[in-house]
Amino acid sequence: MANTSDTVLVIGACGQLGSELTLELRNLYGGSNVVAADISAPKQADLRDSGPFEKVDVLDTKVLADLAAKYKFKQIYHLAAVLSATGEKNPKFAWKLNMDGLFNVLDLALEQKVEKVYWPSSIAVFGPSTPRQNTPQHTIMDPNTVYGISKQAGERWCEYYFQKYGLDVRSLRYPGLIGYKALPGGGTTDYAVDIYHKALEGETFECFLSGNTYLPMMYMPDAIKATLDLMHAPAEQVKVRDSYNLSAMSFSPEEITASIQKHLPDFKITYKPDSRQQIADSWPQSIDDSAAQQDWGWKPAYDLDAMTADMLLNLKKMKEEQTLA
Ligand code: AKB
């Protein structure tokens, strides 16, 4: 259950997940109790106007300590990270941001007696030797992107802080996340967001993955629900302390195209695989999330066609509002 008087910090609040999660946390905990923090100010009016914003670089420990002293946070959601495709362009920086950022947050949580920390992991922790169908919770992990390596190492550190120091850190291995409110930044699964924008603009979509590349994906409302369900579960129900497998749907570019064509029959796609194809080919095609189902009752609501209908409806509405403004 949520303790609605908690003060909550969201680091990376302006990102694809952060901008939606922060609004939902503000609904639950009250606008002034949820501090949105990011390296640059929010562009979304609802995020900007619904509660406090603090400019924070997660690599700056002094700024983090000052912030914690000011607000006395009970919970921290640390979402800031360099994703898979961008990480390959500057591996050393990706490693620094992803690992030092996590250490800074874990140490801050210990020092300031923060009660709960959330940190997202990813299907990128898996690699070419991992079973690709129904990938188990515990299996071979040989990630070959710097993002995946940092997420795998981060999972081990989260479990370490839980076992050694009793810090209540919780984590989910997200599949590709799809939402209409904000664009993702630099991932291998980003095509599955971009494709809806192009379809509504009446343009042909050039896909950077081949047509039959299956990847696990999830609609944003399910991702938000999973995150909050995990964070609000009683501690004894959270038995996995590295990171939970999480699943909703799997599809290929060909299948998402067919789903969009049910609404927009003239929509067309072409394929021009680039370096992201190799990353996608090293990841699972489907995920076994039975541990999440058993431990805290996880169940997704959206499949591909339900997501497509909702995405197109809301994106269209947003685009019409932007034209009127
Ligand atoms: C990415 O593609 O890098 C992310 C992820 C699956 O973690 N969306």
Asked if 257 and 296 sit in the same domain, the reply is: yes
Q: Which of 141, 175, 209 is the last residue in one of the domains?
A: 175
Asked if 165 and 266 sit in the same domain, the reply is: no
Which residue in 29, 71, 77, 147 is the catalytic one? 147
Once rounded to an integer, what is the mean pLDDT over residues 199-212?
A: 97
Ligand 1 site-directed mutation target among 16, 119, 147, 243, most atoms within 8 Å of CB: 147
Confirm whether 147 is a catalytic residue: yes
Print burial letters for 93-121: b (CB count within 10 Å at least 16), e (below 16).
ebbebbbebbebbbbbbeebebebbbbbb
Asked if 283 and 299 sit in the same domain, the reply is: yes
CATH number of residue 278's parent domain: 3.40.50.720
**What percent of the chain stands above pLDDT 90?**
95
Rounded CA separation 285/119 (Å): 23
Does 229 reside within a domain?
A: no
Ligand 1 centroid to 47 CA: how many Å?
Answer: 23
What the block records as the tokens of 77 is 């959601």
Q: What is the pTM of this model?
A: 0.97
Asked if 290 and 202 sit in the same domain, the reply is: yes
Residue 245's SS3 state is: strand
pLDDT in tens, 7-39: 999 999 999 999 999 999 999 999 999 999 999
Q: Which atom of ligand 1 is nearest to the CA of 184?
A: 8
Does 25 reside within a domain?
A: yes
Asked if 28 and 134 sit in the same domain, the reply is: yes
Does 233 reside within a domain?
A: no
Q: pLDDT band at 184, cuts 50/70/90?
A: confident
Number of structural domains (the chain) is: 2
Helix (H) or strand (E) holding 26: helix 16-29
Asked if 210 and 87 sit in the same domain, the reply is: no
H helices present in 218-303, as ranges = 220-232, 253-261, 276-281, 290-296
Once rounded to an integer, what is the mean pLDDT over residues 281-303?
A: 98
Ligand 1 site-directed mutation target among 83, 97, 275, 277, most atoms within 8 Å of CB: 83
Asked if 120 and 211 sit in the same domain, the reply is: no
Does 2 reside within a domain?
A: no
Q: Which of 175, 207, 237 is the last residue in one of the domains?
A: 175
Report yes or no: 58 and 101 within 8 Å, Cβ to Cβ.
yes
Ligand 1 centroid to 3 CA: how many Å?
Answer: 31
Asked if 181 and 311 sit in the same domain, the reply is: yes
Does 236 reside within a domain?
A: no
What the block records as the tokens of 116 is 């709960």
Protein residues whose CB sits closer than 6 Å to any atom of ligand 1: 83-84, 122-124, 147, 174, 176, 187-189
Domain span including residue 69: 8-175
Note the pLDDT of residue 185.
85
Rounded CA separation 29/155 (Å): 27
Q: pLDDT band at 1, cuts 50/70/90?
A: low
Asked if 211 and 139 sit in the same domain, the reply is: no
Residue 275's SS3 state is: coil
Residue bearing the CA closest to ligand 1, atom 1: 187
Q: Which residues pair with 244 in a beta bridge?
A: 172
Residue 133 scores a pLDDT above 70: yes
Asked if 107 and 190 sit in the same domain, the reply is: no
Asked if 191 and 278 sit in the same domain, the reply is: yes
Note the pLDDT of residue 74.
97
pLDDT in tens, 101-121: 999 999 999 999 999 999 999
Does 195 reside within a domain?
A: yes
Q: Locate tokens 């991702």: which residue? A: 223
Q: Which of 175, 199, 233 is the last residue in one of the domains?
A: 175
3-class DSSP string for 168-195: EEECEEECEEECCCCCCCCCCCCHHHHH
Does 280 reside within a domain?
A: yes
What the block records as the tokens of 234 is 């009683």
Does 193 reside within a domain?
A: yes
Asked if 306 and 320 sit in the same domain, the reply is: yes
